[in-house]
Amino acid sequence: MSRAEPFGARLRRAMDTRGPLCVGIDPHASLLSAWGLGDDVAGLERFARTTVEALADRVAVLKPQSAFFERFGSRGVAVLERTVADARAAGALVLTDAKRGDIGSTMAAYAATYLDAGSPLFSDAVTLSPYLGFGSLRPALDLAAANGAGVFVLALTSNLEGAEVQRATAPDGRTLAQVVLDHIAAENAGAEPLGPVGAVVGATLGDTGADLDVNGPLLAPGIGAQGATPADLPAVFGAAVDRVVPSVSRGILRHGPGKGQLREAAERLRDEVRAAVDHRNEGFR
């Protein structure tokens, strides 16, 4: 059996051909209402299906937020399964935003849920929390590599509360965020064009003071509703800006439920990102 193409290579190609953008699928109750949908499984399914039909054939990454599906129980998870499968079938890479993190057999079970090719929730990548120790993520790192999938590890998040943990210092003087980033860089060493382990770094943070050269993708939430703009990306990410995947949810989803309006919003933001980073990376097209 041939080994699956590495996630980093697939993501780089998707960003180069479709543009550097990740669109979240976040069916908040307020968004369901704004779309004229009920806060129920039928509304959830309509919302997710519309977003996939509008965007999965044109954006690089779609990122369903698992919590907004899980709140409807098993029927909501069934909608998530269909959303993941349909988006992947249409050509988008799917990053399931689950932020899982645990130890031992429990971490292995989380890994199997999202990163085993035989799972109904198999995704191109999943978000993980490293704050039980980066080594606790080993089952997910290994299974992702075996199946050509990726992971995005929380490093410097856009929420204010994150600083009390992420900016704390380790015994060697590094911040805990930098410890995580250094682990990610070690996992990605030697990979081309991108490693399979990404870092989550908020676009709202300004100059992070961190070394973001992890040889992997950088998922950047915070554009739109949280206040950051594409023009902020070069200042936050510096020389690593060509590896940034800006993540936007409400800033695009609020233009629904019309599919045309969703497409126009996504394409406009993609073009703004390209314009913001092109002057720093002339080869980034």
Task: Say if 16 falls within a structural domain.
Answer: yes
Average pLDDT along the chain: 95
The average pLDDT across 38-45 equals: 98
Q: pLDDT tier at 285 (50, 70, 90 boundaries)? A: very low
Active site residues: 99
Q: Tens digits of per-residue pLDDT, 188-221?
A: 999 999 999 999 999 999 889 999 999 999 999 9
What pLDDT sits at residue 277?
83
65 lies in some domain: yes
- Mean pLDDT, residues 29-44: 98
* Residue 282 covered by a domain: no
Q: Residue 257 has what pLDDT?
A: 98
Tokens matching residue 267:
């394409």
Q: Establish if 284 belongs to a structural domain.
A: no
Residue 26 predicted with pLDDT over 70:
yes
Structural domain harbouring 161:
7-277
Rounded to an integer, what distance in angstroms lies between the CA atom of residue 148 and that of residue 266?
A: 27
The pLDDT of residue 201 is 97
Domain membership flag for residue 198: yes
HEC readout, the chain? CCCCCCHHHHHHHHHHHHCCCEEEECCCHHHHHHCCCCCCHHHHHHHHHHHHHHHCCCCCEEEEEHHHHHCCHHHHHHHHHHHHHHHHHCCCEEEEEEEECCCHHHHHHHHHHHHCCCCCCCCCEEEECCCCCHHHHHHHHHHHHHCCCEEEEEEECCCHHHHHHHCCECCCCCEHHHHHHHHHHHHHCCCCCCCCEEEEECCCCCCCCCCCCCCCCEEEECECCCCECHHHHHHHHHHHHHHEEEEECHHHHCCCCCHHHHHHHHHHHHHHHHHHHHCCCCCCC
Which pLDDT score is estimated for 227? 82
For residue 69, is it within any domain?
yes
Q: Residue 283 domain-assigned?
A: no
Cβ-contact 191, 6 below 8 angstroms: yes
Whether omega for the bond prior to residue 64 falls within 30 degrees of 0, making it cis, is: no
The pLDDT value given to residue 214: 98
Say how many domains are in the chain: 1
Confidence (pTM): 0.95
Contact (CB, 8 A) for 138 and 102: no
The predicted-structure confidence for 224-233, as pLDDT tens digits, reads as follows: 777 889 999 9
Q: What is the pLDDT of residue 284?
A: 38
Interval 67-94: pLDDT, tens: 999 999 999 999 999 999 999 999 999 9
* Cβ atoms 151, 141 nearer than 8 A: yes
The average pLDDT across 46-67 equals 98
- Whole-number pLDDT of residue 3: 72
Cβ atoms of residues 177 and 157 within 8 Å: no
pLDDT of 43 higher than 60: yes
- Largest Cα–Cα separation, the chain: 54
- Residues 246-272, mean pLDDT to the nearest whole number: 97
Residue type, 190: G
Residue 279 has pLDDT above 70, yes or no: no
pLDDT at 2: 53
Q: Per-residue pLDDT for 4 more than 90?
A: no
Q: Is residue 2 part of a domain?
A: no
CATH for 54: 3.20.20.70
